[in-house]
Amino acid sequence: MSRARAWVLDGGFGLEHLRLEERSWDPPGEGEVGVRIHAASLNYRDLLMVQGKYNRKQPLPMVPLSDGAGVVEALGPRCERFQVGDRVATVFAPRWIDGSPSQEALRFTLGGPMAGVLSEYVVLPEAALLPFPAHLSEVEASTLPCAALTAWNALVTQGRTTAGESVLIMGTGGVATFALQFSRMLGARVILLSSHPQKAETLSKVASFDLVDYRRDPQWPETVRRLTGYRGVDHVVELGGAGTLGHSLKALRPGGTLSLIGVLAGGAGSVDLTPILMRHVRVQGIFVGSLRSYEAMNRAIGQHRLRPVIDRSFSMDEAPQAFRYLESAGHVGKVCIRVSAD
């Protein structure tokens, strides 16, 4: 039996109900793997889950966070994919193998309703783990399961982005940053929407883009169209939701694709559907991605030696501060937690 520290949400929702405790772990059973978690990364979903805004029916107590990376320490019977010492990252939806997800696959996800990885040691099904590119550290690899895969699914698996196309990306968070890196890796032009010049300056050291400040330029769809020779962008990575969807559609070319990912500007509201119909555009909802997409993404990351953009890494003891930092929206790229020593 292994003992390890874990952050547990208990007694109610809210950061005030997170507590650090020592837990016991039985040896991994059939088809299970024991992993020493070295690092985890935060997604906005994790914050909503802890706050009780994502799923009020989530059973408690619960260990939060879906995205982590570490080293295999123990194998249960009939485990064939891994060996002790392998470096692995988690798979957010381990039952989603390929194609479109089933309803069951969407319910079987780490960090809610399944236990998460904000723990020094976890026991997971073999299918919930995947090797990651060798050039990455565990902290870097912990950013891949949700943020990176969501951007990859939008641009590659669903979007089929090719060299010479133009992509409009909103913000400077985890998904946006990976979308920027993947778009440039594919040879696409990027127009970045941000009202924070300092954040944009940080990202300009990672990849090139044209910047549009949406606060200073409320008519930014026209500016985006002008930058594309009044054609419109080929693809919009929409992270705002209903609050920005109308403007995003105006910036999109006829026949273009809009990947709907986030709801930072609101999930409910009235949207004029006429431009979707009359301009023959495609609106695609994006929810992370399949195992096959994850594997393809990892191959591309390894080949291009892409490195995730990490804003800040907190210690295990500082996990509540990491959540508060994410909530402040002051970050560029990903916020991570060093769970145990590398």
pLDDT tens digits, residue range 41-90?
A: 999 999 999 999 998 889 999 999 999 999 999 999 999 999 999 999 99
The tens digit of pLDDT for each residue in 267-307 reads 455 677 777 887 899 999 999 999 999 999 999 999 999 99
The tens digit of pLDDT for each residue in 158-167 reads 999 999 999 9
* Averaged pLDDT of the chain: 93
Q: What is the pTM of this model?
A: 0.94
Helix, strand, or coil (residue 258): strand
Is residue 265 over pLDDT 50?
no
Write down the pLDDT at residue 266: 43
The tens digit of pLDDT for each residue in 208-223 reads 999 999 999 999 999 9
On whether the CB atoms of residues 215 and 241 are closer than 8 A, the answer is no
Helix, strand, or coil (residue 27): coil
Residue 299 CB contacts under 8 Å (≥ 6 apart), including other chains:
none
For residues 173-183, average pLDDT: 97
Give the Å distances, CA to CA, from 315 to 41, 242, 340. 12, 36, 8
First to last CA, the chain: 22
- Whole-angstrom Cα distance, residue 87 to residue 131? 6
| Residue among 69, 94, 71, 68 at smallest CA distance from 84 | 71
Which range has the worst mean pLDDT, 13-17, 139-143, 278-282, 284-288? 278-282
Structure tokens at 131: 């090797």
Determine the length of the chain.
Answer: 342
Helix, strand, or coil (residue 178): helix
Write down the pLDDT at residue 269: 55
Longest CA–CA span in the chain (Å) reads 64
Give the Å distances, CA to CA, from 60 to 92, 143, 320. 19, 25, 18
The tens digit of pLDDT for each residue in 98-126 reads 999 999 899 899 999 999 999 999 999 99
On whether the CB atoms of residues 150 and 307 are closer than 8 A, the answer is no
Which range has the worst mean pLDDT, 19-33, 134-148, 173-187, 233-247? 233-247
